[in-house]
Structure 1
Amino acid sequence: MNILFLISNDGGNGVGGHYNSLNQVSIEMAREHNVKIVTLGSSSSPVILSNPNFAKHIKVGKGLKSLFTLNAELKSFVKTFTPDVVHCFDTHSLNRILPISALSKYPVVLNKCGGRNPLQGNYQHADAIVVFSKENQEWFIKNKNYDNKDIFIIPNRVRKLDFLDESQRVEQKDPNKITFVRVSRLGGAYEKTLLDSYNLIEELAKRYPVEFIVIGRIQNKTRFEALTKEAVDRKLPVKFITDERAAKGSDFLYLADFVVGTGRSFMEATSLGIPSLTPVENANYPMLVNKENFDELFSTNFSERNKAETKHVDKNLSNIEELIQDKAKYEAAKKDTLDLFTEFFGTGGIVTKYNAVYDYALKKPVKRFSLIRKNLIYIVKFALGK
């Protein structure tokens, strides 16, 4: 099967979670299929540029003129690579390709890569839609605008990481400190996670030699400066790494005794057996994830929308301190964390799951005008830059 993956970048750093998700899914699917990735927009993604299946970047804007450019480029592309399925990993790429003729003959799959449920009563449409979380799946299934058979849940899967080779490590771990690590975009996103982590570090620092290392590219300089100022004003032991190395933040996980993660970054940390925490909407500290509270946090994809039972919130700080104080319990937690990764996040079985999506989409008649009609409001808003 020939699979054409599409993803857009319209002014960002191109290193967000959905780029990494596409990177991993495409690598796994290429074990069995012919795979190509084309990036669209103002620039490509450094994550995708390093993917062995990357084919080309098409530089286009959002206006009508850009549609003609895109159509010509894709018509030329499909002469040498004719896809059986087109798989969009964001709505921008979907809105770009639906109105043009170059890919109108092929079924279209859309991934909704996590995130909160749509705020309105409708969302974009495709021949099949893949969601990462139970939260999103339930929204689509309950929505009368969608056929339940079109919705597939495939929780985000990540490759098992290896720690960065010691010869390549610039930053050195302080053996006398308990190090919490956060990998994230900085400024404008995930601020609750960072501020709650500040709260936790501030509390633990009263009794333990802790430090907090935050790795990520800066998205909003003003917001980032406000966050760094707060850490300084509160005299917190926080260090930021924001240079070009932060584009691959997982390289720094060798520094961590604990990781504060959301979505993909949480899953990557568990692949290394690092005890991991995630934000909770109804608490002021990130929560240490264990087998007792896993299900309630998994349902919202380890995001800032997580909600935990009161009993789990009440036990959270003592659970963290227990691992700091007791080496045997910390080692047991590492094993439990790795077990959770193996069962829920590893890439085993991912090809079979996506094959089922593609087989379903291929059996449906291609009704492009119907898809355009269902997505028309989104296509128009996108073209107008709204």
Structure 2
Amino acid sequence: MQNLKGLIQPEVFNLGLAPSRTISNLRDFHYIPYARWNIFGLYALARKIRTSSPDVLHAYDHKSLFVARLLSLLLGIPVIYTKCGGPNGSRAIPFANRIVLFSGENYSHYCEHGDPSRYILIPNRLNRPHSDPEMQERLVNELGLRDQKILLRISRFNRYYDHTFNQTEALFRELRAKEMSWHLVFLGAEQDPVYLQELKDRFGLDGVYYIVEESYTKEASKLIPIADAVVATGRGAMEACYFGKRVFCPTAIGRLPVEINDATFDTLFHFNFSERAPVIQSEIAQETAGTSMKVYFEKFFLLDTARTAYLSLYGQAIEEGSRHLSNLKTLAYHALQFFRPR
């Protein structure tokens, strides 16, 4: 947690089939190749953890939480779990000394089916994002879009996001019908070349651009300032707010994504600006009315405001210590989820 520098000394253990590009440049980063049945990987991790002797294990996804729970039993270290949004999951709530929920949707579900005293709602927070004027200038010149209006959608080209691509293109058509200077830029890693070609065939190339070069996609958020409006979910929506852009969120229903404004903010925020929000927008206003996007960022999304909450969580977990009996109660079910074939 970069915002807690000087207050904690984190070590980052990345488990998986390949190291994460997003966090691999962090100080004290360790990559451990790990798959479901890799007992040697677990042993290597346990040895490193024992040597590091941390006060708390903090997991950020359901599978790494299972590994952290095993290590907690072996080494007697308390566990914190952050569920970074997404669907609610089953009613069987996994154990951790404390659980952080990013969305009100997840928080309500966990409180209904688990122990509310262990859960805390801390909506996703982030540091102020950085910009790269040189990279922005280069892309705008390559596309020939100087003095044009840009609708930007940052997303991996993956069939899972098909509904959000359709909503984005529908928004683009609405905007362009009112003003021909609008152009749509899709920016993201090409995970599925076949699907990318399908999108090109479906949406065409008239005013629509598909950017997949790693030089642009690796730090795509630095390109947000080129846009006049952004279609985004979760963290991306928050970053776009910081840059003061019009922000539209894909949602579960409706033809168009929904704009963040005073009327829609509470509902979208409850769902962590995910595409599961049940909101419909039938028409698009010419301009955003109401609260400035940057005000939303400073008030609700800035990580500085969550510093005390996170420090308190770590203190509570350390004081409580590893709770072996509570951990064991749901460990078998968690193991079934961890080891089941994909």
Do these two structures clear the TM 0.5 threshold for a shared fold by scoring above it? yes
Alignment map for 1:82-161 (pairs within 5 Å): 82-100=53-71, 104-118=75-89, 120-143=90-113, 146-161=114-129
RMSD between aligned alpha carbons?
2.2
TM-score (norm 2): 0.91
1:51 aligns with 2:7: no
Does the 8 Å CA contact 2:129/2:222 hold for their aligned counterparts?
Answer: no
Aligned to 1:198: 169
- Against the structure 1 CA distance between its residues 347 and 99, is the aligned structure 2 distance closer, same or farther, given a 3 Å change threshold? closer
- Residue in structure 2 matched with residue 348 of structure 1 by the alignment: 304
Q: 1:219 aligns with which of 191, 211, 215?
A: 191
Matched, 1:61 2:35: yes
Per-residue deviation, 1:167: 6.6
> Structure 1 residues 270 and 56, CA, compared in 2 at 3 Å: closer, same or farther?
same
How far apart, in 2, do the equivalents of 1:376 and 1:264 lie?
33
Structure 1: how far apart are the matches of 2:148 and 2:48? Answer: 57
1:42 to 17, 39, 44: 17
Q: Which residue of 2 aligns with 1:16?
A: none
1:166 corresponds to: 134
What per-residue deviation string (whole Å, max 9, x for no partner) do you get for residues 196-250 of structure 1?
Answer: 1111112222231211111111233333332232112xx6521111121312211
Q: 374-383 or 93-102, which moves further after superposition? A: 93-102
Paired residues in the alignment total 337
Structure 2 residue ranges without an equivalent (≥5): none
Compared CA separation, residues 287 and 39, structure 1 to 2 (3 A): same
The one-letter amino acid paired with 2:326 is S
Report SS of the residue matched to 1:175: coil
User: What amino acid does structure 2 have at the position aligned with 1:134?
Assistant: G
Residue in structure 2 matched with residue 7 of structure 1 by the alignment: none
Aligned partner of 1:239: which letter?
Y
SS in 2 for 1:213: strand
Taking the TM superposition and a 5 Å limit, the aligned residue runs for 1:210-289 are: 210-232=182-204, 236-245=206-215, 246-289=217-260
User: Contact 1:40 / 1:57 at 8 angstroms: preserved in 2?
Assistant: yes
C-alpha deviation, 1:301, in angstroms = 0.8
CA contact (8 A) 2:107 2:120 kept: yes
Question: Counterparts of 2:190 and 2:75 in 1: how far apart (Å)?
Answer: 38
Paired residue secondary structure (2:26): coil
TM-superposed deviation, 1:179: 0.4
Q: CA deviation at 1:296?
A: 1.4
Q: Residue type of the partner of 1:224?
A: L
| Cα pair 1:67 1:96 within 8 Å, conserved | no
Which range is displaced more, 200-209 or 363-372?
A: 363-372
Partner residue in 2 for 1:375 = 331
Secondary structure, counterpart of 1:352 in structure 2:
helix
What are the ranges of 5 or more consecutive residues in structure 1 without an aligned counterpart?
1-25, 324-329
Q: In structure 2, what is the Cα distance between the partners aligned to 1:157 and 1:380? A: 32
Contact 1:41 1:58 in 2 (8 A): yes
* CA distance, structure 1, for counterparts of residue 241 and residue 72 of structure 2: 43
Q: Is the 8 A contact 1:218 1:224 kept in 2?
A: yes
Cross-structure match for 1:186: 157
Greater shift in the superposed pair: 205-214 or 167-176: 167-176
AA partner of residue 31 (structure 1): G
What is the identity, as a one-letter code, of the residue corresponding to 2:177? K
Structure 1 residue 370: deviation in Å? 3.4
Aligned to 2:270: 299
Whole-Å separation in 2 of the counterparts to 1:167 and 1:374: 49
1:280/1:72 CA distance change after superposition, 3 Å: closer
The aligned residue for residue 72 of structure 1 is 44
Cα 1:177–1:60 change in 2 (3 A) is same
Question: Following TM superposition, where does structure 1 have runs of at least 4 consecutive aligned residues deviating by more than 6 angstroms?
Answer: none
Amino acid at match of 1:55: F
Given that 2:77 and 2:321 are in contact with CA atoms closer than 8 Å, whether structure 1 keeps it comes out as no
Moved more, 205-214 or 362-371: 362-371
| Counterpart residue type for residue 275 of structure 1 | R
Distance 1:102 1:282 in 2: 44
- Code of the residue aligned with 2:189 in structure 1: it is R
